[in-house]
Amino acid sequence: MYKIKAILTTFLIFGLSNFIYAQNLDSRIEAKIDSILPLLTLKEKVAMCHAQSKFSSPGVPRLGIPEIWMSDGPHGVRAEINWDDWGYAKWTNDSITAFPALTALAASFNEKLSYEYGVAVGEEARYRKKDILLGPGVNIYRTPFNGRNFEYMGEDPFLASKMVVPYIKGVQKNGVAACVKHYALNNQEHLREKISVEVNDRALHEIYLPAFKAAVIEGGVWSIMGSYNQFRGQFCSHHELLNKILKKDWGFDGVVITDWGSAHNTKEAALNGLDIEMGTGTNGLTYSKKNAFENYFLAAPFYEMLTNKEIDESVVDDKVRRILRLMYRTNLATNRPLGNMNTKAHQDVARKVAQEGIVLLKNEKQFFPISDDKQLTIAVIGENATRAMTLGGGSSELKAKYEISPLQGIQERYKNAKIVHAMGYASGPAAYGMEIPSKLDADSLANAAVSLAKKADLVLFVGGLNKNHRQDCEGEDRKHYHLPFGQDKLIDKLVKVNANLGVVILSGNAIEMKWLPKVKGLLQGWYLGSEAGHALADVISGDINPSGKLPFSFPKKLEDNGAHSFNKTVYPGNGTDVVYKEDILVGYRWHDTKKIKPQFSFGYGMSYSSFSISNIKTDHKSYGVNDKITVAFDIKNTGNRKGAEVVQVYLGKIKSKVKRATKELKGYKKLSLKKGEIANGKIPISISDLAFYNKSINDWEIEKGEYYVYVGTSSGDILKKLKINIK
């Protein structure tokens, strides 16, 4: 069924002639692979299934089969790493364009922009001679404590699915394989190498797998990365989920790669669908004192099992076939482009993604935009105004050719107003796996900031999190929901001396905002890459009208989040297991269904303009299971400047026979309108997208009966509720 859908999609996108050409090309490649396999020795086959360095796996030189070179890079190609340790090689030509983190991309709700992002980062990977780019990440935002949420695409599986597909197509256009990660259920960093996730099949299929499924079936991704954690007591990098769902049900024909060091057992790795093992920690003694890579699970132990006939040679042949197929798509492709790096076009894409990702959350008395007035003194306060955010964060840290800080961007944009800066607080240097406190005196920094704020006409506080350990960083989760380093108290002090204060939060996670009623304006700025300061200044000044929408909910307090509303067995777990008791009610599904009002709803974001949406209707009142619903509406820009709005369509079953969320996102459309412009919008929705996963039959089922169609501008701002019937 899935392969038929993929074929039909290919017909629609490329047409019959291109489809036939692609089929012929695939046939020729498979024939070449058939001719190569008998020429390989068993040792050569096994060698292709594991690393030879930190970021490469071997080829077969005598046959001209090249090595495969990989790089971290969900939002930019990582600097070169040493051959066999984690130190940087200190090249002088590996500085790249840093693109915004994927939370910012998801906040754009712009699939065309996701494609442009993928093309640009893929071109940089190609120029750097990489065959696999280790990204994007699509793990679902379950808790605001997860240290790697900034690398992912939010809490909603539909949005993540829609945004990941064009990213993949853009990257792979360059002959570079995207590697979607981390399959599956890697929703926390705390004890990630040990924890076993317990979640029911329905939540697995409805919440945690859809973006991976879309990546395979719609995106045609060429590689998938496994995850560190276990699922029901079995490690995910060699779990039955690989063969059963990924390769069999979805028809994935690419390569499964471990996360670095996530393999644990030779036989499971061999038989359960793992193709390339990377990063396993070995002592280098068991099989060879010279080469620790021989000690990998899919190395000498795998070879022994094959020679002893404990494992059939067809198992390694399938892995090698997949690896060769990936090579013919990448480093053996005859029409592979050359790529390029740090071009003006790449910088423009980075800036545009950053602009469209920034979310305006509060704007009392039109605090934003801020004019460039000669009479104005603007106090920019906060360490994040000057701190480099491309550094740190774990494997996604970048060596950017340049990074425009928020302060620099504001200074460059504001030629007339007087810009002054105080650090206000300090976090300490970035370090992976440890917290290094700042040596600066906190009281002195705060006092200097308050003194500056007293004399200013307005205050712009630039704070949030950063890429340090236990913040937005791989390897461990956050410790608390409030702002770190005394920022909450500092904001309170600043407001007391200058009520004309706005806040810019740089983070990949939601935060507690007890100070929110006291401030005039609030922007969610994410981690915005090389062009961060320029993009923020574009929005702060009003040169760009903000149009970003939150890709996850902001709870008022931590306990309002589903994963934090139970006991520690639900998060962070008891040390060995974590139980997803919130089930399918993740993010806004929890808030809506439990009637817990969030601080800011999923999909929420303001504009400097205003919009009226009218004549909302569906094309019919009743539908068959094979039909499409079309939601039509009129939208008018009623403000005084050009702007964009994202109209969102949610559906919910009335009187369902199974537990359901009140509503779920099933369609959206972003429209850009000039001042006074009116447009007609249409959002198509497939009836098949209304199906739930029926555990009793292990398949999807469309429940007949009445549904509500909710149309609005966020999950919490519904303008119209319509009723339809599925026959």
Helix or strand or coil: residue 342? coil
Beta carbons within 8 Å of 616's beta carbon, 6+ residues apart: 631, 632, 633, 711, 719, 720, 722
Bridge-based pairing of strands 643-653 and 705-714 is: antiparallel
Tallying the residues shown for the chain, one arrives at: 727
Six token digits for residue 294? 């021989």
Q: Can you point out the beta strands (E) in 535-663?
A: 577-579, 611-618, 622-623, 628-637, 643-653
Sign of CA dihedral 655, 659, 664, 666: negative
- H-helix or E-strand containing 422? strand 418-422
Q: How far is CA 141 from the centre of its chain?
A: 9
Cβ atoms 110, 156 nearer than 8 A? no
- R_g of the chain computed on alpha carbons: 26
Residue with tokens 């509303």, as numbered in its chain? 565
b (16+ CB within 10 A) / e for 602-621: bbbbbbbbebebeebebeee
Cβ atoms 711, 616 nearer than 8 A? yes
Q: Give the separation between CA 586 and CA 656, rounded to whole angstroms.
A: 18
- CB-side neighbour CA atoms (13 Å) of 17: 0
Query: CA 595, 600, 603: angle at the middle one, nearest 5?
Result: 95
Alpha carbon of 458 to those of 241, 377, 510: distances in Å?
55, 7, 25
Cβ atoms 294, 43 nearer than 8 A? no
Task: Name the residues annotated as catalytic.
Answer: 259
Bridge-based pairing of strands 56-57 and 418-422 is: unpaired
Six token digits for residue 177? 């394989």
Q: CA torsion angle for 215, 218, 221, 224 (degrees, to 10)?
A: 30
Six token digits for residue 162? 């829609």
User: Helical H runs in 37-110?
Assistant: 42-47, 102-107
**Residues linked to residue 685 through DSSP beta bridges, in sequence order:** 629
**Residues linked to residue 524 through DSSP beta bridges, in sequence order:** 359, 505
